Chain A
Amino acid sequence: MGRAWLLGDGISTDAIMPGRFNLTTDPDALARACLCEARPEFAENVRPGDVIVAGRNFGCGSSREHAPVSIRANGVVAVVAVGFARIFARNAVNIGLPVIRCGEAVAAIADGDEVEVDTRTGTVTSGGRTFAGEPPSALAMRIAEAGGLVELVRGAGWAALEEAPV
């Protein structure tokens, strides 16, 4: 169980990780700069287990993977949103940050609410209500189970993806 950090529509990777802070690959440095303009109190107050809850097109804009890295490095266990920009969603899955599409949950959850996310089924629970989010694709599940794309391909090669329909 964690708390919800509520964000609006169209939160770009420039907002998650402004360009002037991403000249590093150090997860701790990136974590400190995460959302520093959109939610200046975020990095200081976020706790492991918290969840980001956002509107449409979360992570739009630049492909910078520093954005999902910075969110994960803060201990956020999942991002629940109405929708995700393509590259952000792919990057997040690749590094083991679950992303769940669930417009109903986003509409119902307020900032600071207690939230629990089942990242295998896409189910979001908050305030005694349960919302059926979109479950992750078979491919995303396989990447998550392996611990990330690098771990999956390093272990099983591309055959792991080519053999089974995804």
Chain B
Amino acid sequence: MGTLVEEIISNRLGRQVVAGDTVVAPVDCAFAHDVTAPLAIEAFERMGTPLHDPGRVVLVFDHVMPAATVAAAELHVRIRRFAADHAVRNLFAEGICHIIMVERGYARPGGIVVGADSHSTTYGALGCFSTGMGSTDVGVILATGRTWFRVPETLRVEVTGELAAPLTAKDVALHVLGRIGGDGADYMAVEWGGETVERMSLDQRLTLANLSADMGGKAGLCEVDDTTLAGSSPVEGVPIPHPRSPHYADVLHVDLSSLQPQVAMPPAADNVHDIGDVEGTPIDEVYIGSCTNGRLEDMEVVAGYLAGRTVHPNTRTVVVPASRRIYTEALRRGWIETIIEAGALVMNPGCGPCLGRQHGVVAAGERVVSTSNRNYPGRMGSPDAEIYLTSPAVAAATAVAGRITDPRRHN
């Protein structure tokens, strides 16, 4: 009985839990990346015990990969040494951690996953309980295979109406973020449902769950259906979770009939406006990628728009497929060639310029359109740069025009 998150946790513990309970639970898989792993390793080493289960640990090089500085390279060496010492074989340098966790099947319907990264909410789109924690928590999980958490209350977001191109899940999520604010779902699970979500692809649902973190959410979840099961296989031995007579702390209804492309203006992702408020703003850099919008469908939208067009000479445009699988598939379909011919720079899979350390660090006074999830001052380089968050469709149109542009004007 309960919300999706209550069902998942109850199934795993073999007893009914409700929001507000504090539980110690087994973790199917824990991961850390090249920035958070070193502190997690230090916490693990202070535990003074062997690794609980190397097969349940995933280490990903994505934030600064390949290393852009000596300091980054040294962190990579420490992580590789730890992996060798403790027989951890799940080591990846082929894309963003959150994409790898889904592609490689570490996150599965009904499971419990913890990542040392805030956007670990992403795979809740598969109907698992996944949440971000810090390095110390993950270090303790490495040693014990378990963690504690408080079962969260749930905010149900019920989405209805037709979501027609160029609108995407990104616009829906930004709209909700603007409505409830960056702490609007603090400590809660955000459960996405309704006819529109039911019709969404897995790629789109992953975007909803990803941005749940930026609402303060502890988790972001979608119900398990045929779309989910076509792209993932449930954890063995536990029932596929479904909300049953759920009690929601709150229900938010979102009707898409008048939704415009959404733009989050500086200084935070919850400063959301209709595109009409910012159209025409000159843009120095466009970044298309990230764990929010670097997936195959996003590459398709971008290639579709850029075909036969050229990016504006004043707007450097950086496209980063989120994983090797996405990159190679987009290559095979000719999309990468289209994107490159349009004048964009295509970088290796990973976080790219999202966190301001490589591949397009921005200067004071510059304005950026990014398809990621964060636009805090200093996020992508100088604290005096401005970051606008949009969908890939708006980003592609902006890249061509050199100013924030509604893609519907140029279809």
Among the listed B64, B135, B148, which residue makes an inter-chain contact with A139, where contact means beta carbons less than 8 Å apart? B148
CA of A95 to CA of B120, assembled, Å: 21
Q: Which of A34-71 contact B (CB under 8 A)?
A: 37, 56-57, 60-66, 68-69
* B263 at the A interface (CB under 8 A): no
* B24 at the A interface (CB under 8 A): yes
Among the listed A24, A64, A153, which residue makes an inter-chain contact with B36, where contact means beta carbons less than 8 Å apart? A64
Q: Are A149 and B140 in contact (CB under 8 A)?
A: yes
Q: Are B135 and A86 in contact (CB under 8 A)?
A: no
Contacts known (A63-B133, A87-B134); A150 close to B35, Cβ less than 8 A = no
Residue of A nearest to B355 (CB): A19
Among the listed B46, B64, B146, which residue makes an inter-chain contact with A150, where contact means beta carbons less than 8 Å apart? B46
Residue among B48, B64, B75, B379 with max Cβ neighbours from chain A (10 Å):
B379
* B187 at the A interface (CB under 8 A): yes
CA of A154 to CA of B134, assembled, Å: 18
Among the listed A19, A66, A161, which residue makes an inter-chain contact with B148, where contact means beta carbons less than 8 Å apart? A161
CA of A12 to CA of B216, assembled, Å: 12
* B166 at the A interface (CB under 8 A): no
* B374 at the A interface (CB under 8 A): yes
CA of A91 to CA of B140, assembled, Å: 12
Mask: chain B, 138-158; 1 = CB below 8 Å from A; 0 = not: 011001101010000000000
Q: Are A83 and B146 in contact (CB under 8 A)?
A: no
Q: Are B139 and A56 in contact (CB under 8 A)?
A: no
* A94 at the B interface (CB under 8 A): yes
* A103 at the B interface (CB under 8 A): no
CA of A76 to CA of B71, assembled, Å: 27
Measured CB to CB, the closest approach of chain A to B384, in angstroms, equals 9
Q: Are B383 and A37 in contact (CB under 8 A)?
A: yes
CA of A139 to CA of B117, assembled, Å: 23
Mask: chain A, 9-50; 1 = CB below 8 Å from B; 0 = not: 010101100111011110000000000010000000000000
Contacts of B38 in A (CB 8 A): 25
Q: Are A18 and B139 in contact (CB under 8 A)?
A: no
Contacts known (A10-B268, A86-B216); A149 close to B137, Cβ less than 8 A = yes
* B218 at the A interface (CB under 8 A): yes
Q: Are A148 and B133 in contact (CB under 8 A)?
A: no
Contacts of B374 in A (CB 8 A): 12, 14, 61-62
5 of the cross-chain contacts (CB-CB < 8 Å) are: A63-B134, A85-B183, A94-B137, A150-B139, A162-B24
**What residues make up the interface of B, taking CB atoms closer than 8 Å to A?**
22, 24, 35-36, 38-39, 42-43, 46-49, 64, 69, 71-72, 75, 116-118, 120, 132-137, 139-140, 143-144, 146, 148, 182-183, 186-187, 216, 218, 267-268, 355-357, 374, 376-379, 381, 383
Q: A10-B267, A19-B355, A150-B140 are in contact. List 10 more A-B contacts (CB 8 A).
A: A10-B182, A14-B378, A18-B356, A63-B134, A65-B36, A87-B132, A91-B137, A150-B43, A153-B144, A166-B22
